[in-house]
Amino acid sequence: MSPKEAMKELIMGKCYKIFYFKRPGRSCGIVILGAVSLMSCRDKREPGRVYMPDMAYSRAYEAYAPNSLKQKGINYINYPVDGTIRRGDLFSYTLPNDSNGYKMSAEVKDPLPPLDSVGLHEAQRLFNIYCAICHGPNMDAQGPMAGKVGAIANLKLPQYVKEPEGQMFHVATYGKNNMGSYASQLDKKQRWMVIQYIKSVQAGSAITAAAGDTTSAKATTPTSPKDSMTAKK
């Protein structure tokens, strides 16, 4: 038997075993040809069949993600009930994102107690991550994006030193002109912390002088805006 014939014999023999043909012949060849052409014509973008998908992919529902539980008669509340807040959370900020809301926000008061040195240090860290890229670590609008983003507010200017804390919170929540909203990066408490930090720096508090060193006694010394915040409570 020539090697070619031996190969043919082998293939036909296998074919015979797989498809249980009585006699390996032309039909076997057609079946193989058909299978090959079927495989080659399959859409490559189609993921194909998955064996036991329930084990390969989690069927868990993501919190707050759309799901079909209601249609299945399962009582699952997708979102917090209206008018309720998470335990330990701050009240919702309800002023609208428009000029009227901006004006009214001047009356909104910081609900947090004055931050201690650890809190201020954390607030500084958040400011340096999210705000300093434009406003600069010294809040003089000299961050790395200065010149690339137009009209960055120099928070050292008197108009911003005088700006009510609520209005700053409003801007951090919704954004203003070239500044975007930070509500998805910083939760309400973090936003208020950052505003307290801005206010303390604007007042020339020790934390700027001792940036990154809040363990110094200077940083914990109460400053005038913090005193006024305490007085408000």
The residue ranges that bind ligand HEC (CB under 6 A) are: 130-131, 133-135, 145, 149, 151-153, 160, 163, 167-168, 171-172, 176-179, 182, 186, 194
Q: Which is nearer to ligand HEC, 70 or 103 (CB)?
A: 103
Q: C-beta of 141: minimal distance to ligand HEC in Å?
A: 8
Q: Which is nearer to ligand HEC, 28 or 152 (CB)?
A: 152
Instruction: Locate 170 and state its tokens.
Output: 């409003």
Instruction: Locate 206 and state its tokens.
Output: 């020790």
Q: C-beta of 185: minimal distance to ligand HEC in Å?
A: 7
Q: C-beta of 90: minimal distance to ligand HEC in Å?
A: 16
Q: Which is nearer to ligand HEC, 15 or 207 (CB)?
A: 207
Q: C-beta of 233: minimal distance to ligand HEC in Å?
A: 22
Q: C-beta of 191: minimal distance to ligand HEC in Å?
A: 7
- Are the C-beta atoms of 137 and 212 separated by less than 8 Å? no
User: Using alpha carbons only, what angle is made at residue 127 by residues 125 and 132, rounded to the nearest 5 degrees?
Assistant: 115
Q: Which is nearer to ligand HEC, 100 or 221 (CB)?
A: 100
Q: Residue 149, SS3?
A: strand
- Are the C-beta atoms of 130 and 191 separated by less than 8 Å? no
Q: Which is nearer to ligand HEC, 15 or 229 (CB)?
A: 229
- Per DSSP, helices labelled H in 137-220 are 158-161, 165-174, 188-202, 206-209, 217-220
Instruction: Locate 230 and state its tokens.
Output: 């305490």
Instruction: Locate 37 and state its tokens.
Output: 């052409």
Residue 81 has, within 13 A of its CA and on its CB side, a CA count of 3
